[in-house]
Chains A and B, each alone.
Chain A
Amino acid sequence: MVIEEYLASTKEVTCEKCKEPIVQGALAKNYFVCPKCGKYNKIPARARVELITDDGSFKELWQEVVTGNPIDFPEYEEKSTKARDTSHENEGVICGTAKIKGTECCIYVMEPKFMMGSMGTIVGDKIAALFEYAIEHGLPVVGYAASGGARMQEGMLSLMQMAKVSGAIKLHNDAGLFYMVCVTDPTTGGVTASFAMLGDVIIGEPGALVGFAGKRVIEQVTGETLPAGFQSAEFQLENGFLDDIVRRNDQRDYIGAMLKIHSSDNESDMPRMRFHELHLKGHETDYKNFASNAFARLKEIIHN
């Protein structure tokens, strides 16, 4: 268990913001929030999975796939090898199935320490396949975004992942399934401009940087001086792009409750079922009893 290792660790780390030394175990115990300045320090993706999902329920998908160098970009192998060593992950996202407060779902969590959580082909392919898996099994998707954007070293192949994942989310949406995403520090560039902003529900962590263009780039291009708090999660909430800001220690309950209220197995679902019976019966597609062939299913969804 990753979290246990962190909790037991007496190694000293420094807070990302105030740079004060903290014993790693104490930081982990506080959900990686600095006890001195309150800064939400980055959480390793695997620890995040453990914090959010029900004990022992997580089953990882496609963990072993490792990046090549699809457009022969200089120094890419060295960088990705180093990223694997420092993050202890094979790529910038962990995908799988799990239960959160009892509700079965698909989950992806991006790893901010793998080349700044950048999105290359494997990240895109895993997330797109996860949404297809969710369609096939009639499951909601919970995502944690943390990314510097599309990965430059895979060129246009990375940019195309934005379209691919957005398309998979659209099919999942059209299947009547629920997707919620939590944007964490930092969520920028091509990830903001695709799957981080496409949730039915989008929440953010306090103080997280969430935006499209980089702050420094904006200042250079426009000559504007940007105020403190520009592109923070709070800024995005105020401008209407987040549903809420949820503290780390509340996120499991929040997501669990959100999944439950969107679940069709809900016992308190009577009025909605009644509406279904009155207005939609005979027209709806019963996604749970679909044939197991995902391709056929996707076709059918589009057809409807």
Chain B
Amino acid sequence: MDAYEKIRCARKAGRPTARDYIQSIFTGFMELHGDRTFGDDHAIVGGVAWLGDIPVTVIGIEKGHNLDERVYHNFGCVLPEGYRKAQRLMKEAEKFHRPVICFVDTQGASCGSGAERRGAGQAIADNLYELMTLKTPVISIMAGEGGSGGALALAVADDVWMLENAYYSVVSPEACASILFKDSSRVAEAAEHLKMFADDLYKLNIVERVISEPQDFGEEGWDVEPFMSSLKMSLVGRVGELMNQPVQKLIMERYEKYRRIGRYKEIDVHNV
């Protein structure tokens, strides 16, 4: 696939959404609503569930499949209250040392005057801040679109996994083409240069695992079951490993992992 086809694939309406993953991988999901301050953002679906015999908190950005659902879920564009709701659920998970699994699929944080008034930037910042030292394992799965800070706010994690044809980018390839190349038709080229696809991000140590997609992934009638059960097996295994680590080691390694990204040996506390 070339870059343009990959972008289309990442955005394809038939791809599983957060609710599909929750239904296929977890059992006994009980949804929890609201940020306890302002409202309930429908772009975030979250709650408690069982991953095999492990109680977990699962949080996903939901896009919906058809137009009605998409409107209801605000096209997967999360409002500040959505990020705060996610954080509330993460803190609740931390209290009971329950692992957190996130599914990320968003073109970006919700863009509008309401989001700005309610502190879109502050809400994202606060999630990055709290997630870094959350005292419980966190795994985030980039399932489709990974739109910049709006995606990162649910993806400061011990492990970030990425579907083969998902993308995760600092800026949308469209915006990059029009801002830097002054030519909105050069989207595919921008996408290539941004290194936003799974294999590149794996090489850059930004994602820990690439999940391969079957040929007909997200097409009408594709075989959901084997894909989901294999993903479930991977999650069970990794969550088990992470839960066996002392919590301070877990957090230290999480911090060190991000600390190493774009690290210069000259820039160091001891090099002054």
Contact residues of A with B, CB < 8 Å?
A: 61-62, 64-65, 70-75, 120-122, 124-126, 128-129, 132-133, 136, 150-164, 166-171, 173-174, 189-190, 192-198, 211-213, 217-218, 221-222, 224, 226, 230-231, 235, 239-241, 294, 298-299, 302-303
**Of the residues A136, A152, A231, contact of B176 by C-beta under 8 Å:** A152
Which chain A positions have C-beta within 8 A of B116? 211-213, 218, 230-231
B230 in contact (CB, < 8 A): no
- B residues less than 8 Å from A212 (CB atoms): 109, 115-116, 120-121, 124, 149
User: Is B193 in contact with A73, judged by CB distance below 8 angstroms?
Assistant: yes
The closest CB in chain A to the CB of B150 belongs to: A193
Residues of chain B within 8 A (CB-CB) of A132 are 269
B266 touches A164 (CB 8 A): no
A294 touches B269 (CB 8 A): yes
Choose among B129, B153, B195 the residue that contacts A170 (Cβ–Cβ < 8 A).
Answer: B129
Chief secondary structure at chain A's binding surface: helix
Q: Are B267 and A126 in contact (CB under 8 A)?
A: yes
Q: How far is A93 from B110 in the complex, measured between Cα atoms in Å?
A: 29
Which one, B120, B132, B133, B196, contacts A193 given CB within 8 A? B120
Q: Indicate the member of A162, A224, A241 with the most B CB atoms within 10 Å.
A: A162
B125 CB within 8 Å of chain A: yes
Give the interface segment out of B52-60, B89-97, B248-256. B248-256
B152 x A159 contact (CB < 8 A): yes
Please, which residues of chain A bring their CB within 8 A of the CB of B251?
302
Q: How far is the CA of A222 from the CA of B170 in the complex (A)?
A: 22
Question: CB within 8 Å of A: which residues of B?
Answer: 109, 111-113, 115-122, 124-126, 128-133, 148-149, 152-153, 156, 168-171, 176, 179-180, 193-196, 201, 204, 206, 248, 251-252, 254-255, 258-259, 261-264, 266-272
Given A159-B149, A171-B255, A213-B116: A198 in contact with B125 (beta carbons within 8 A): yes
**Considering the chains assembled together, what is the distance between the CA atoms of A212 and B201 in angstroms?**
25
> If A156-B168, A167-B128 touch, does A129 touch B267 (CB 8 Å cutoff)?
yes
B252 touches A154 (CB 8 A): no
CB distance from A183 to the nearest CB of B (A): 10
Which residue of chain B has the shortest Cβ distance to A68 in the bound complex? B264
B125 touches A192 (CB 8 A): yes
Given contacts A150-B171, A212-B121, A213-B112, 15 further A-B contacts (CB under 8 A): A64-B266, A136-B269, A163-B152, A166-B125, A167-B129, A171-B133, A190-B170, A192-B122, A193-B153, A212-B124, A213-B111, A213-B115, A224-B113, A239-B119, A240-B119
B-side contacts of A150, CB under 8 Å: 148-149, 170-171
Q: When the two chains form the complex, which single residue of A61, A73, A174, A198 contacts B126, counting CB atoms closer than 8 Å?
A: A198
Whole-angstrom distance between the Cβ of A92 and the nearest chain B Cβ: 13
**Shortest Cβ distance from B184 into chain A, in angstroms?**
13
Please, which residues of chain B bring their CB within 8 A of the CB of A217?
A: 111
Tell me how far the C-beta of B84 lies from the nearest C-beta in chain A, rounded to whole angstroms. Answer: 13
Contact A169 B129 (CB under 8 A): yes
**Which of the listed residues B130, B169, B266, B267 has the most CB atoms from chain A within 10 Å of its own CB?**
B267
3 residue pairs, one from A and one from B, having the closest CB atoms: A121-B262, A192-B121, A167-B132
CA distance A235 to B143 in the complex (A): 36
Report yes or no: A193 in contact with B124, Cβ–Cβ below 8 A. yes
Q: Inside 8 A of A154's CB, which chain B residues have their CB?
A: 170, 262
* B267 with A160: CB separation less than 8 A: no
Q: Known: A162-B152, A193-B124. Contact between A133 and B261, CB under 8 A? A: no
Pick from A158, A241, A298: contact of B122, CB below 8 A. A241
Counting chain B CB atoms within 10 Å of each CB, the highest count among A151, A158, A193, A221 belongs to A193
Contact residues in A for B120 (Cβ distance below 8 Å):
193, 212-213
Cβ contact within 8 Å between B264 and A197: no
